[in-house]
Chains A and B, each alone.
Chain A
Amino acid sequence: MLRFILKRVGFAILTLFLIITLTFFLISAAPGDPIASKVGQMPEQAQELIRARYGLDKPVGERYLIYMGNLLHGDFGESITYTGKQVNDIIAVNAPISAKIGIMALFFQIVLGILLGMVAGMNRGKVGDHVIRVCVVLAICIPSFVFAALLQYFIGFKWHLAPIFGWGSWKNYILPVTAYALGGIASYTKYMRSSTISVYGEDYIVTAKAKGCTKNQVLRKHVFRNSLIPIVTMTGPAIAGIFAGSFVLEQMFSIPGLGAYYMKSVTNSDYTVILGLTAFFAMMYVASLILVDIVYGFVDPRIRVAKTGKR
């Protein structure tokens, strides 16, 4: 098991290296000047000074080596747009805020999605199933920012049940988490429904019935665990989405997460912030995939890695 994890971590580092390298050269090649908005009408000499301060006067290759060298020490560098602000600080301060929204939303997505999906799957073709399926299609089709606007208008503005925007109190979580979770609940429901239906048609379910399991026992002991397998696959990318999934919503609800920085960095060609955040998201993504591989083993013994680590 340890060997398996080490191997996966090794590949993960290689993947990250490739992503960062590719991103570095792509944004350097893209049009736009990171200091353009900063220097404005400054005389040329001053512009050159600022350019030199950020090392932008050096050739791309050299800049790449310096960047990678700093990265080895865990240093993402300083933002170009926000003078004196370290990318590491941006991540440390703002990522947890995004993560709180993301984790709460993911929790509701998984729990409610699995629940609704099983209910729909077990009652296939009945009224409950049809109602759930119509809601699922609607929730998948409608973008989260539309939900956000509807929630703000009705729950926040008309009925005064929750604050419309802002940050600080627990009440501020209600609307953004709901808006973020709805689409995910729908997709989890959809996958769990089809997974439940296909597991319910398996031979071993007939075996379970034939040995005298009640409907409830069949569901709890045989259908549930087996139908979770595709859900684990889906959850990997979703874990990465904890940080990156709610950018638009963060803007709408004025939440000081990573979203605002990420968008601004792209429009301003703020190289260090783009690179730092991209590397951060990539790291989270790769880590979540390794996590999924490990969780798989708990759910499905067929893909559990041999304890002796022979493989």
Chain B
Amino acid sequence: MSKGEEILKVENLHVSFKTYAGINQAVRGVSFSLNKGETLAIVGESGCGKTVTSKAIMQILPQQAAIGAESRIYLEGKNLLELSEKEMTQVRGKEISMIFQDPMTSLNPTMRIGKQIAESITNHSDISEKDAEKEALRMLEMVRIPNAKERLRQYPHEFSGGMRQRAMIALALACRPKILIADEPTTALDVTIQAQIMDLIRDLQKELNMGVILVTHDLGVVASVADKIQVMYAGEILERGTVDEIFYQPSHPYTLALLQSVPRLSTKNKDTLYSLKGTPPNLIDPPEGCPFAARCDYGMGICRKKDPDATVVSGTHSASCWLHDARADRKGLPDLFRLGGEQ
């Protein structure tokens, strides 16, 4: 298989959670695709549904979550949602792997690191425990953990945060998966360690020609590693495009607000950092129209009545916003903002 071939396709994904207050519609009609060797970043603030989307692909959502009947998740053309639980266990860790936000809690504290990695291998092949341990050692060396042989026999509490995340990556990649989902892999780490981990993921991605889905709210991380970005808000994708398109020509007011709230070296001490006011809508009773309307600086009457369809700005770039409609009032819109549709 060559690079660029489509391996994952998510269509109209809906995920809802049963809570005491009612049904929380965490993900509302998300569609996207991922190619081999490509990095897709899903960005958005906390609670926008990015983690739920990635866990839905793995089908490791908590019990009270339900994936909508209209949803489709194709892995190389095979709909994962139609697989039995037993068939799905052969997909998890082998075809698609996942690493998590907090390496401090994501490893079993009472199991040796080597055994945890080896378990991932024995789950998917018939090799002996001994050979699996050997393979685990190779994996630890691959993620550049020094003294790997010694480390293999240690427990997670003997590892630092960065080392644990490396061990997590070794565990996730032990079966050479086609897709790696990295759910905020660097959020809990120091900035210097963050860069090391991202470099490691990128190197291994090249080596294994994996598709990577990077879930994060850190735009700095995204800029350095992603090929494509999709911006999520309130369980929907508001804008998608390449890194350059999203960073230099944002086409949705929410993306614009996210970019403006990133501190820059050029920011003077006296300048106030932009901060987006308000909170995301309650998804137990989602608002009519555009979910961002209530916090939007450029909101119009239509925004609160009807949810806009995605407007294509360029071949790979699209955004769901009424500003792209020719009739929109675009007063005060910054030059940075890229308009699409019929002008």
Q: How far is the CA of A222 from the CA of B108 in the complex (A)?
A: 7
Q: How far is the CA of A210 from the CA of B175 in the complex (A)?
A: 12
**With a CB–CB cut-off of 8 A, which chain B residues contact A214?**
86, 89
Q: How far is the CA of A222 from the CA of B119 in the complex (A)?
A: 11
Given contacts A212-B120, A213-B119, is CB(A206)–CB(B89) below 8 Å? Answer: no
Closest approach, in angstroms, between the C-beta of B341 and any C-beta of chain A? Answer: 41
- For A124, the closest partner residue in chain B by CB is B63
Asked if B111 contacts A221 (CB within 8 A), the reply is: yes
Closest approach, in angstroms, between the C-beta of B56 and any C-beta of chain A? Answer: 13
Q: Which A residues between 202 and 219 are near B, CB-CB below 8 angstroms? A: 202-204, 206-215, 217
Q: Does B245 contact A (CB under 8 A)?
A: no
Q: Does B90 contact A (CB under 8 A)?
A: yes
Asked if B119 contacts A221 (CB within 8 A), the reply is: yes
Contact of B110 among A209, A217, A300 (CB under 8 A): A300
The contact string, 1 if C-beta is below 8 Å from chain A, for chain B 109-123, is: 111000000011001
- Stretch touching chain A among B8-16, B72-80, B99-107: B99-107
Q: How far is the CA of A310 from the CA of B10 in the complex (A)?
A: 55
Asked if B105 contacts A203 (CB within 8 A), the reply is: yes
Q: Does A7 contact B (CB under 8 A)?
A: no
Q: Does B97 contact A (CB under 8 A)?
A: yes
- For B96, the closest partner residue in chain A by CB is A210
Q: Does B228 contact A (CB under 8 A)?
A: no
Asked if A211 contacts B123 (CB within 8 A), the reply is: yes
Q: Which B residues between 93 and 152 are near A, CB-CB below 8 angstroms? A: 93-94, 97-98, 100, 102, 105-111, 119-120, 123-124
Q: How far is the CA of A161 from the CA of B138 in the complex (A)?
A: 62
Asked if A203 contacts B106 (CB within 8 A), the reply is: yes
**With a CB–CB cut-off of 8 A, which chain B residues contact A226?**
108-110
Asked if A204 contacts B109 (CB within 8 A), the reply is: yes
Asked if B102 contacts A212 (CB within 8 A), the reply is: no
Asked if B90 contacts A206 (CB within 8 A), the reply is: no
Asked if A217 contacts B92 (CB within 8 A), the reply is: no
Closest approach, in angstroms, between the C-beta of B317 and any C-beta of chain A? Answer: 32
Asked if B123 contacts A204 (CB within 8 A), the reply is: no
**Consensus secondary structure, chain A interface:** helix
Asked if A302 contacts B60 (CB within 8 A), the reply is: no
Q: How far is the CA of A132 from the CA of B266 in the complex (A)?
A: 64
Q: How far is the CA of A209 from the CA of B61 in the complex (A)?
A: 10
Closest approach, in angstroms, between the C-beta of B67 and any C-beta of chain A? Answer: 15
Asked if B60 contacts A213 (CB within 8 A), the reply is: no
Closest approach, in angstroms, between the C-beta of B285 and any C-beta of chain A? Answer: 25
Contact of A207 among B86, B157, B168 (CB under 8 A): B168
Contact of A299 among B60, B94, B98, B110 (CB under 8 A): B110
Given contacts A214-B86, A302-B157, is CB(A209)–CB(B108) below 8 Å? Answer: no
Asked if B119 contacts A204 (CB within 8 A), the reply is: no
Q: Which A residues between 54 and 73 are near B, CB-CB below 8 angstroms? A: none
The contact string, 1 if C-beta is below 8 Å from chain B, for chain A 268-311, is: 00000000000000000000000000000001111000000000
**With a CB–CB cut-off of 8 A, which chain A residues contact B290?**
none
**With a CB–CB cut-off of 8 A, which chain A residues contact B168?**
207
Asked if B89 contacts A203 (CB within 8 A), the reply is: no
Q: Does A225 contact B (CB under 8 A)?
A: yes
**With a CB–CB cut-off of 8 A, which chain B residues contact A213?**
89, 119, 123
Closest approach, in angstroms, between the C-beta of B182 and any C-beta of chain A? Answer: 12
Closest approach, in angstroms, between the C-beta of A204 and any C-beta of chain B? Answer: 4
Number of residues in A with C-beta < 8 Å to the partner?
22
Closest approach, in angstroms, between the C-beta of B226 and any C-beta of chain A? Answer: 22
Closest approach, in angstroms, between the C-beta of A82 and any C-beta of chain B? Answer: 51
Q: Does B212 contact A (CB under 8 A)?
A: no
Asked if B92 contacts A209 (CB within 8 A), the reply is: yes
Q: Does B234 contact A (CB under 8 A)?
A: no
**With a CB–CB cut-off of 8 A, which chain A residues contact B174?**
211
Contact of B93 among A203, A204, A211, A225 (CB under 8 A): A211
Contact of A210 among B60, B90, B102, B124 (CB under 8 A): B60
Q: How far is the CA of A281 from the CA of B43 in the complex (A)?
A: 62
Q: How far is the CA of A206 from the CA of B110 in the complex (A)?
A: 15
Q: How far is the CA of A302 from the CA of B155 in the complex (A)?
A: 8
Q: Does B197 contact A (CB under 8 A)?
A: no
**With a CB–CB cut-off of 8 A, which chain B residues contact A203?**
100, 102, 105-106
A206, A210, A300, A302, most chain B CB atoms within 10 A? A210
Closest approach, in angstroms, between the C-beta of A41 and any C-beta of chain B? Answer: 68
**With a CB–CB cut-off of 8 A, which chain A residues contact B172?**
210-211
- For B91, the closest partner residue in chain A by CB is A212
Q: How far is the CA of A222 from the CA of B205 in the complex (A)?
A: 29
Q: Does B58 contact A (CB under 8 A)?
A: yes
Contact of B106 among A204, A212, A215, A225 (CB under 8 A): A204
**With a CB–CB cut-off of 8 A, which chain A residues contact B120?**
211-212
**With a CB–CB cut-off of 8 A, which chain A residues contact B237?**
none
**With a CB–CB cut-off of 8 A, which chain B residues contact A207?**
100, 106-108, 168, 171
Contact of B171 among A211, A215, A217, A222 (CB under 8 A): A211
**With a CB–CB cut-off of 8 A, which chain A residues contact B55?**
206
Closest approach, in angstroms, between the C-beta of A124 and any C-beta of chain B? Answer: 8
Asked if B157 contacts A204 (CB within 8 A), the reply is: no
- For B110, the closest partner residue in chain A by CB is A225
**With a CB–CB cut-off of 8 A, which chain B residues contact A215?**
85
Asked if B111 contacts A222 (CB within 8 A), the reply is: yes
Binding site for B on A (CB under 8 A): 202-204, 206-215, 217, 221-222, 225-226, 299-302
Q: Could you give 30 example pairs across A and B, Cβ below 8 Å?
A: A203-B105, A203-B106, A204-B107, A204-B108, A204-B109, A206-B55, A207-B100, A207-B168, A208-B108, A208-B119, A209-B58, A209-B92, A210-B92, A210-B97, A211-B92, A211-B97, A211-B119, A211-B123, A211-B172, A212-B89, A212-B91, A212-B93, A212-B94, A217-B119, A217-B123, A299-B110, A301-B110, A301-B157, A302-B109, A302-B157
**What 4 A-B pairs come out closest when comparing CB atoms?**
A212-B93, A211-B93, A211-B120, A203-B105
